[in-house]
């Protein structure tokens, strides 16, 4: 089913077709929670490293080392990019119809 076609009562949520789809995916994915202190790191795969650079109150500064071809975004930026892609796709689909 195309992204822009939703069942009655569904609302598009980021890259997901609906709130229900997002909830189902979150049930399938598990979150690993790690404790780290300043200057400690975690490694994702073979080529991504996340380092705790600074902790001040409720703010944590992260340093991310990753290859250029690996996109790294804050969640709100990622969500905006996904919305723009979906809007562009919907616009292109309407132009084809």
Q: Show the domain range for 91.
A: 1-31+72-97
23 and 40 inside one domain:
no
Q: Would you say 12 and 6 are in contact if contact means Cβ atoms under 8 Å apart?
A: yes
Mean pLDDT rounded to a whole number for the chain: 81
Report, as an integer, the average pLDDT of 55-70: 95
* Residue 51 burial by Cβ neighbours in a 10 Å radius (0-12, 13-18, 19+): middle
Q: What is the pLDDT of residues 13-25, one digit of tens each?
A: 455 555 566 666 6
**How many domains does the chain contain in total?**
2
Report, as an integer, the average pLDDT of 57-68: 95
26 and 40 inside one domain:
no
80 and 61 inside one domain:
no
Q: What is the pLDDT of residues 10-57, one digit of tens each?
A: 444 455 555 566 666 667 777 888 999 999 999 999 999 999 999 999
């Amino acid at each position: 089913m195309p992204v822009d076609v939703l069942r009655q009562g569904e609302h598009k949520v980021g890259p997901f077709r609906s709130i229900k789809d997002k909830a189902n995916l979150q049930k399938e994915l598990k979150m690993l929670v790690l404790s780290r202190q300043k200057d400690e790191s975690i490694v994702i795969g073979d080529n991504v490293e996340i380092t705790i650079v600074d902790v001040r109150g409720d703010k944590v500064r992260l340093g991310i080392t990753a290859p250029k071809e690996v996109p790294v975004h804050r969640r709100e930026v990622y969500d905006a990019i996904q919305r723009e892609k979906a809007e562009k796709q919907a616009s292109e689909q309407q132009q084809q119809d």
